[in-house]
Amino acid sequence: MNKLTFLLPFLVAGCAYVNEDMVAVKLESEPPGAIASIQGGTSCQTPCEEPLSPRHRFLVTFSKPGCHDKVILLEPRRAEGVDLGILPVAIVAQGNLDPNPAKVILQCDDISPTPGNALPVE
């Protein structure tokens, strides 16, 4: 028996386990239309949903032109009275991420011209 034949069942089982382990995290911003960039390279435009593992922490950066970026931390939801560091993987895998939905309010600059801040025309 070659090594690939021996390892194939473990590799397939590992892939199936990772796919079943994801939860949909809702990402929302006020104002809508911000880009939510998730640690690891995934991004979407709010409002949106992204599948993430509930066993890991993720930094999410919300950005929109004319607004200040906002960074939040998504982390595994803790079972009440129990430290996640000692829970069996099967129990942690059934969890979720906090916050979910993840909602942020972006601080945006007032860029619309008004009589007090309009630029003179030359």
**Average pLDDT of adjacent 10-residue blocks, the chain of 122 residues:** 50 42 93 95 94 92 96 83 54 71 91 50 48
How distant, in Å, are the alpha carbons of 4, 37, 61 from that of 52?
29, 13, 15
**Which bin fits 51, alpha (ψ -120 to 50), beta or left (φ > 0)?**
beta
- pLDDT at residue number 24: 93
- pLDDT at residue number 29: 97
- pLDDT at residue number 84: 58
- pLDDT at residue number 8: 47
